[in-house]
Amino acid sequence: MAFTEVLLIKPVDGLGAEGDKVRVRAGYARNFLLPQGVALPVNRANSKHIEALKKAREAREARDLEAANATAAKLGALRLTFAVKTGEGGKMFGAISTAEIAAKLAENGVELERRRIHLGQGPVKQLGKHVCHIRLHTSVMVDQEFEVVSENPIEPVAEEAPEAEDAGERAKKPRKPRKEKAAKSE
């Protein structure tokens, strides 16, 4: 396969930031990066842009880090509580996912993409206190605590009725053997 070197003008997820010289497949460069204005072919004339792009990159990274630290301070002051419907014994209907957490944060004035929120073992399906990890920047990670509470009173689990025990005993009785099919007469 043919490869080519390009100079990135804008940051590309998984590839690099502005000012980086990267080696990519020729088709990717020709069909996507160059027409979108994300990259320039590497040559002497375009190499002059490298210094300007690197300065812009440093300024952008400094702004991003400052914004991430400000958001981390906001998150530290927030206490999130989710009220959910529950059934017998406090069993939740549904689950709390990253989408619900992102929506609750947006209600409190913190706009985040839900892909920045990590729950570890998947959606929360139990009442109580939980922690999610929020990656705001490559060097800024926040552990946000939240609580899941029942919006209705928790009902105790009903005791099994004696009829259920009788049904269980009936199920344990051995089955009668099948009737053998009569041999076909020839």
Q: What are the residue ranges spanned by the domains of the chain?
A: 3-47, 73-150
| 36 or 162, which is more confident | 36
**pLDDT of residue 31 exceeding 90:** yes
pLDDT at 28: 94
Over residues 109-122, the pLDDT tens digits come to 888 888 889 988 88
Q: Tell me, what's the pLDDT at 170?
A: 57
pLDDT in tens, 167-181: 555 556 677 777 766
CA distance 65 to 67: 5
Is residue 95 within 8 Å of residue 121, measured between CB atoms? no
Q: What is the pTM (predicted TM-score) of this model?
A: 0.62
Identify the CATH class of 3-47.
alpha beta
pLDDT digits (tens, 9 = 90+) for 141-158: 999 899 998 887 777 666
Q: Residue ranges of the alpha helices (H) in the chain?
A: 26-28, 44-47, 49-77, 98-107, 162-171
Q: Check whether 32 has a pLDDT greater than 90.
A: yes
Using CB atoms within 10 A of its CB, is residue 66 exposed (0-12), middle (13-18) or buried (19+)?
exposed
Q: Which two tokens stand for residue 97?
A: 């996912």
User: What is the C-alpha separation between 186 and 183, in angstroms, rounded?
Assistant: 9
pLDDT at 150: 86
Residue 51 has pLDDT above 80, yes or no: no
Cβ count near 162 (within 10 Å): 8
Q: How far apart are CA 178 and CA 183, in angstroms?
A: 15
Hey, what CATH class is 73-150 in? Answer: alpha beta
